[in-house]
Amino acid sequence: MAEKYARQGKNDMNTPVLETERLILRKFTEKDMEALFLVLRDEKANRFLPWFPVKNMEETRKFYEERYAAKYRQPQAYAYAVCLKSDNVPIGYMKVDMEEHHDFGYGLRKEFWHRGIAREAGRAVIGQVEKDGLPYVTATHDVRNPRSGRVMEALGMSYRYSYEEIWQPKNFPVTFRLYQLNFDGNEGFVYKKYWNMSSNHFVEELPFCRMARIP
């Protein structure tokens, strides 16, 4: 099965299939709705994400259509189901957006936390978008979720700045830290849109953190 998926992903710039030691990263399909429901209904897994946990299969299918199926119709996209090789069933998701921010994000069912899965999947996805010519990726995390920051650092990203915004649709203030990885070696470039949009932005002194200053 792994070899089959590797062949299908060759020369494909819309969520090409990726394979790691333990994982298969592939597109979600209609057959994955039950597994996707288990991921999206998990309150702990979705606590720091910009949507509410889904309540039923109808909401799951709507989420799939809007956030996955629509992207799969584009010429280039990276919207992955994260699956264990043992059964090829999604246990989470990972994406890099094609909008200007090239935002990297992920989520895993809590049963699969603390196993290095996000890092393993992230290395594969980051490597693919670099290979496909994206100039950089960014990622943000809520300051109350520092573990995500450590994943970003493990993937080679550098902390750039922090900013506050009223987070929608949850509608409360959140302070985010932005990390960035440039693939062209130009460490002087920082994606500043969030900095410019926020009236409360600043650079923190973070211990044991790879940092790159706002130029």
Residues contacting residue 74 through CB under 8 Å, at least 6 positions apart:
14, 98
Q: Mark out the alpha helices in 53-189 (DSSP H runs).
A: 57-64, 70-72, 117-131, 146-154
pLDDT of residue 211: 59
Question: Is residue 160's pLDDT more than 90?
Answer: yes
pLDDT-based confidence at 215, cuts 50/70/90?
low
Q: Which amino acid is at 108?
A: L
Cβ proximity of 77 and 99 under 8 Å = no
Mean pLDDT of 172-183: 94
- 14-67 confidence digits (pLDDT tens): 999 999 999 999 999 999 999 999 999 987 777 766 667 889 999 999 999 999
Q: Which residues pair with 149 in a beta bridge?
A: none
Tell which wins on pLDDT, 48 or 123.
123
What average pLDDT is seen over the chain? Answer: 90
Residue pointed to by tokens 């550098």: 158
Question: Is residue 207's pLDDT more than 80?
Answer: no
Residue 69: other Cβ atoms inside 10 A: 16
Question: Is residue 119's pLDDT more than 50?
Answer: yes
What is the phi/psi pair of residue 146, to 5°?
A: -65, -20
Terminal CA-CA length for the chain: 48
Distances (CA, A) of 71 to 141, 152, 153: 23, 24, 27
pLDDT of residue 141: 94
What is the phi/psi pair of residue 81, to 5°?
A: -90, 130
pLDDT of residue 69: 97
Give the torsion through C-alpha atoms of 210, 139, 54, 37, to 10 deg: -80
* Range from 3-17, 137-151, 175-189 carrying the lowest mean pLDDT: 3-17
Mean pLDDT of 203-213: 73
Question: Is residue 213's pLDDT more than 90?
Answer: no
What is the phi/psi pair of residue 4, to 5°?
A: -60, -45
The length of the chain is 215
pTM of the predicted model, to two decimals? Answer: 0.89
* Domains of the chain with bracketed CATH: 1-134 (3.40.630.30), 136-215 (no CATH)
Distances (CA, A) of 41 to 112, 114, 134, 189: 15, 20, 32, 37
Residue whose C-alpha is closest to residue 112's, from 92, 141, 129: 92
